């Protein structure tokens, strides 16, 4: 099979397209013929071994990447099923969390893939797992958003942000999206009642107060974010940061953990999870017409490095996707 491999940490230029043997499905696993794979900020963190503290924590590998073939989000067809797999058979169209998604074939635990909605292309389906599930956890589970809440999504036009706006609106919240001028129309079209253009206005300086803020950017001090919350409101932190840091977004997370017990606002993190029930909730919302993946650009498998550079720059509208087959 053809695959994008990485032998060392570095910029996207270290990636190579090679011919290699396909993986084999073990017990409880399926081999997926990948039709499309999505790129996430997580992927460039793995690519660069960034932040450095993540290497010491064992998250990405110490001196070289843990996985030779990267990628997590994929959509495709089941090629083979291992022992003890029930409910999946060759030919089934699926989406989910697949190890080594930047290749023609990838492995997935059988309980981490779900049927692909027939209304979606493989590219749209691949854009769902990591970003969609993070938005669902941040808005529904951690933020506990309900009807009537005022919710602000910082980074509303990004991968997680476009899902978060739609999920919050589907729950009956009044959503404000923070984005650039060029993305204002997009953010309104997916359910935001209000849009703040960060190039002309700082949402932490205004009079509006929000029950829940989902911060996908990490470009405002914790004290300023707290100022924009209602008394007892919830701040949900989701990454942020740029390449080349020792601590990166971990520093902001640690500050929030320390401060949380000392203030009346709730400062919360989005847990890292890969759960089937979350994928099923997302595909259910899609089938109900309440959620639509937003795609930025697609690249061929050989263009994975170029796609990762775009994600790393932080200006993608929705999800960047690789078309594999």
**% pLDDT > 90, the chain:** 76
Question: How many other C-beta atoms lie within 10 A of the C-beta of residue 154?
Answer: 27
The pLDDT of residue 119 is 97
Q: How confident is the model at residue 172 (pLDDT cuts 50, 70, 90)?
A: very high
**% pLDDT > 70, the chain:** 88
In this predicted model, what pLDDT tens digit does every residue of 266-277 receive, in sequence order? Answer: 899 998 899 999
Higher pLDDT residue, 269 or 191? 191
- Residue 120 Cα distances to 112, 124, 212, 222, 289, angstroms: 19, 6, 30, 38, 12
Architecture of the domain made up of 2-128+293-323: Alpha-Beta Complex (3.90)
Every domain of the chain and the residues it spans: 2-128+293-323, 131-269
Higher pLDDT residue, 214 or 258? 214
Cis before 51? omega within 30 = yes
The pLDDT of residue 67 is 82
Q: The CATH number of 131-269 is which of 2.60.40.3680, 3.40.50.720, 2.10.109.10, 3.30.70.260? A: 3.40.50.720
In this predicted model, what pLDDT tens digit does every residue of 139-152 receive, in sequence order? Answer: 999 999 999 999 99
The pLDDT of residue 246 is 45
* Average pLDDT for 70-78: 96
Name the most confidently modeled range: 6-10, 111-115, 220-224, 254-258: 111-115
């Amino acid at each position: 099979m053809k695959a994008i491999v990485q032998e060392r940490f570095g910029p996207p230029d270290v990636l190579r397209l090679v011919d290699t043997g396909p993986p084999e499905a073990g017990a409880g696993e399926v081999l997926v013929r990948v039709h499309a794979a999505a790129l996430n900020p997580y992927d460039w963190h793995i690519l660069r071994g960034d932040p450095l503290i993540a290497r010491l924590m064992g998250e990405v590998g110490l001196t070289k990447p843990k996985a030779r073939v990267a990628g997590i989000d994929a959509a495709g067809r089941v090629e083979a099923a291992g022992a003890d797999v029930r409910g999946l058979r060759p030919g089934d169209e699926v989406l989910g969390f697949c190890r080594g998604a930047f290749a023609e074939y990838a492995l997935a635990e059988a309980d981490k893939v779900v049927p692909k909605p027939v209304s979606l292309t493989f590219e749209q389906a691949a854009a769902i797992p990591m970003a969609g599930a993070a938005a669902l956890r941040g808005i529904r589970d951690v933020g506990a958003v309900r009807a009537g809440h005022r919710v602000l999504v910082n980074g509303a036009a990004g991968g997680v942000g476009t899902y978060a706006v739609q999920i919050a609106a589907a729950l009956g919240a009044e959503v404000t999206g923070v984005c650039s001028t060029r993305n204002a129309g997009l953010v309104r079209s997916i359910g935001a009642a209000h849009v703040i253009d960060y190039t002309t206005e700082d949402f932490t300086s205004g009079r509006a107060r929000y029950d829940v803020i989902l911060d996908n950017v990490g470009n405002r001090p914790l004290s300023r974010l707290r100022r924009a919350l209602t008394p007892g409101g919830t701040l949900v932190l989701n990454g942020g940061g740029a390449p080349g840091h020792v601590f990166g977004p971990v520093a902001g997370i640690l500050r929030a953990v320390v401060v949380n017990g000392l203030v009346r606002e709730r400062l919360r993190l989005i847990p890292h999870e890969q759960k089937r029930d979350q994928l099923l909730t997302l595909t259910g919302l899609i089938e109900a017409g309440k959620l639509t993946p937003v795609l930025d650009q697609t690249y061929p498998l050989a263009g994975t490095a170029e796609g990762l550079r775009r994600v790393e720059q932080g200006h993608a509208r929705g999800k960047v996707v690789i078309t594999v087959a």
